């Protein structure tokens, strides 16, 4: 995949990561030839931390799958959800999931909405506004 180049004021070319997005598929089940379900995640290879799946979120999502009886019907909150893989895994297993992230990260919040829609999961999203005061704004995205 070729990266688009943009120019800064000092005429130095820097790569633009606008087109460097992909969708990863994460498969869960005891028999991977016939998985129980899969979750698709839209990832963008920007420096923004919340736009790609971290290895620890894959491990947490697998833990949720392995402990699925504990998560069925449970209330789950994913703080700093980013790509939301653990939260979406819990939602797929029947948890009542709330995803949160920082209001200053609009691209990350939009990505949360997109992955909820892509996986056809109902997600409650709490947007955290962090400044001199801490406040939250509630959004519900089917």
pLDDT (tens place) for every residue of the chain, 142 residues total: 233 333 344 444 445 545 588 999 999 998 878 999 999 999 987 766 778 999 999 999 999 999 999 999 999 999 889 999 999 999 999 999 999 988 888 888 899 999 999 999 988 888 877 666 655 566 655 5
| pTM of the predicted model as reported, rounded to 2 decimal places | 0.79
Bridge partners (DSSP) listed for residue 135: 129
SS3 61: helix
Return d(Cα 62, Cα 90) in angstroms, integer.
Answer: 10
Return d(Cα 126, Cα 129) in angstroms, integer.
Answer: 10
Instruction: Write down all domains in the chain, each with its CATH number in brackets.
Output: 23-141 (3.40.50.150)
Instruction: Characterize the bridge pairing of strands 75-78 and 96-102.
Output: parallel
Identify the pLDDT of residue 44: 87
Give the position of tokens 């999203």. 125
Radius of gyration of the chain (CA): 17
Dig out the tokens for 86 from the structure.
């653990």
If we measure between CA atoms, which residue out of 108, 141, 122 comes closest to residue 21?
A: 108
């Amino acid at each position: 995949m070729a990266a688009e180049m943009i120019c800064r004021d000092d005429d130095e070319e820097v790569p633009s990561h606008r087109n460097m997005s992909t969708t990863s598929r994460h498969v869960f089940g005891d028999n991977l030839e016939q998985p129980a379900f899969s979750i698709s995640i839209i990832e963008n290879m920007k420096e923004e931390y919340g736009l790609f799946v971290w290895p620890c979120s894959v491990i947490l999502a697998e833990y949720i799958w392995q402990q699925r009886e504990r998560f069925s019907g449970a209330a789950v909150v994913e703080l700093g959800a980013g790509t939301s893989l653990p939260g979406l895994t819990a939602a797929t297993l029947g948890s009542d999931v709330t995803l949160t992230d920082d209001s200053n990260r609009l691209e990350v919040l939009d990505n949360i909405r997109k992955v909820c829609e892509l996986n056809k999961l109902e997600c409650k999203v709490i947007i955290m506004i962090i400044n001199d005061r801490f406040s939250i704004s509630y959004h519900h995205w089917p």
